[in-house]
């Protein structure tokens, strides 16, 4: 599967170019050391028929913060970058797409502070990244990176080798996805998604500090507030997860996706009757700008 073909157009440093004609420098430290920052954003064809990028401002605010956290100069205007995203969608005739901004530094092998940042924006059609079915998740042998070794709230490219290793391990053992703990042994997140679980009518999620504070996570918190579902952010142990009524992952690419099992152990509630399912439907409604009627969900 290729994310582009000979007709694909991308944005690079203020220009719209054919993907097959764009070039990067093979001597750049972004490539050699993973010193780059990315975002993952989704555009939806909303109920009115209009194409809308979900939480574009929040994603570009994080893009800027991610760059600043690792000292990549950021002198872009986010409104212009958002307009460039819409233009990329239009030039590629896309209505539902995954949008990938990437900030890279030109050659700078001396490792002094970066002096220039370049921005790429490309888009591709991407279905649910973890699939539509419930996930069989295993506890990873990898931990999330040490917050004292890295700016873990930066979506820096190099950090994602950790995510790749954890997903590869899970898939090689026949699971769909991994769960990683933080360096203190508490539940952190998936390789590319935040975690929530339901227990006795309350929704729980790991507190900030050892996780990427996802934009979908913030949306799920908003949904809980709107629907009057009690929500608690706290440190979560592995044992609490085994005792959960339901567990789900959420992220821009994954959206809201329920778990089938954790280390082969199922959960107390069938997904169809869980609060996770209610939140999943409410999330879909929100991104599509549709009315959400909680009464339509089985109790």
User: For residue 159, what is the DSSP state?
Assistant: G
Using the rule CB under 6 A, give the single segment among 70-78, 105-113, 210-218, 261-269 that binds ligand PMP. 210-218
Among 189, 198, 245, 255, interactor with ligand PMP by CB under 6 A: 189
Q: In whole angstroms, how close is the CB of 252 to ligand PMP at the nearest point?
A: 3
Using the rule CB under 6 A, give the single segment among 131-139, 164-172, 212-220, 259-267 that binds ligand PMP. 212-220
Q: What is the CA radius of gyration of the chain?
A: 20
Among 97, 123, 212, 275, interactor with ligand PMP by CB under 6 A: 212
Nearer to ligand PMP, 59 or 199 (CB): 59
Q: Which of 18, 112, 133, 155 is catalytic?
A: 155
Dihedral angle sign, alpha carbons of residues 164, 167, 172, 176:
negative
Tell me: does residue 251 bind ligand PMP (CB under 6 A): yes
Among 252, 274, 280, 281, interactor with ligand PMP by CB under 6 A: 252
Among 28, 101, 145, 214, interactor with ligand PMP by CB under 6 A: 214
Nearer to ligand PMP, 30 or 216 (CB): 216
Q: Residue holding tokens 């690079």?
A: 12
Dist CA 210 CA 147 (whole Å):
7
Contact of 74 with 117, CB cutoff 8 Å: yes
Looking at the DSSP bridge assignments, the partners of residue 247 are 197
Nearer to ligand PMP, 177 or 189 (CB): 189
Our answer to whether residue 155 is catalytic in this structure is yes
Among 66, 216, 280, 281, interactor with ligand PMP by CB under 6 A: 216
Contact of 34 with 110, CB cutoff 8 Å: no
* Distance from chain centroid for Cα 99: 11
Burial class of residue 274, CB neighbours in 10 A (0-12, 13-18, 19+): buried
Using the rule CB under 6 A, give the single segment among 24-32, 97-105, 107-115, 215-223 that binds ligand PMP. 215-223
**Which residue number is nearest to ligand PMP in terms of Cβ?**
214
Residue 148 CB partners (closer than 8 Å, separation 6+): none
CA angle 65, 22, 33 (to 5 degrees): 45
Q: In whole angstroms, how close is the CB of 68 to ligand PMP at the nearest point?
A: 17
From residue 28, alpha-carbon distances to 117, 149, 221, 276 in Å are 11, 23, 39, 43
Nearer to ligand PMP, 28 or 192 (CB): 192
Tell me: does residue 192 bind ligand PMP (CB under 6 A): yes
Ranges of H-type helices in the chain:
29-33, 56-69, 78-91, 160-172, 215-227, 238-242, 275-287
Nearest of 94, 99, 110 to residue 45 by alpha carbon: 94
Tell me: does residue 194 bind ligand PMP (CB under 6 A): yes
Nearer to ligand PMP, 19 or 195 (CB): 195
Contact of 39 with 67, CB cutoff 8 Å: no
Tell me: does residue 40 bind ligand PMP (CB under 6 A): yes
**Contact footprint for ligand PMP (CB under 6 A):** 40, 163, 189, 192-194, 212, 214-217, 251-252
């Amino acid at each position: 599967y290729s994310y582009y073909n000979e007709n694909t157009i991308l944005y690079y440093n203020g220009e719209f170019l054919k993907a097959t004609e764009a070039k990067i420098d093979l001597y750049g430290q972004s490539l050699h050391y993973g010193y780059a920052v990315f975002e993952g954003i989704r555009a939806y064809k909303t109920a009115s028929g209009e194409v809308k990028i979900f939480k574009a401002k929040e994603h570009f605010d994080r893009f800027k913060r991610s760059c600043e956290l690792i000292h990549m100069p950021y002198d872009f205007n986010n409104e212009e970058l958002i307009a460039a995203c819409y233009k990329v969608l239009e030039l590629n005739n896309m209505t539902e797409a995954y949008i990938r901004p990437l900030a890279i530094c030109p050659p700078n092998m001396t490792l002094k502070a970066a002096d220039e940042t370049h921005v790429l924006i490309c888009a591709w059609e991407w279905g649910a990244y973890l699939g539509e079915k419930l996930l069989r998740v295993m506890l990873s042998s990898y931990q999330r990176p040490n917050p004292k070794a890295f700016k873990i709230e930066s979506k820096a490219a190099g950090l994602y080798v950790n995510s790749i290793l954890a997903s590869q391990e899970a898939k090689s053992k026949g699971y769909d996805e991994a769960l990683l703990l933080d360096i203190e042994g508490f539940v952190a997140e998936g390789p590319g998604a935040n975690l929530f679980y339901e227990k006795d009518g309350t929704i729980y999620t790991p507190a900030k500090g050892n996780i990427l504070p996802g934009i979908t996570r913030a949306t799920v918190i908003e949904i809980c507030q709107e629907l009057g579902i009690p929500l608690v952010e706290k440190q979560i142990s592995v044992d609490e997860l085994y005792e959960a009524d339901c567990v789900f992952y959420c992220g821009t690419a994954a959206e809201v996706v329920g778990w089938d099992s954790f280390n082969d152990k199922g959960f107390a509630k069938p997904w169809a009757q869980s609060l996770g399912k209610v939140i999943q439907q409410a999330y879909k409604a929100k991104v599509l700008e549709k009315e959400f009627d909680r009464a339509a969900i089985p109790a």
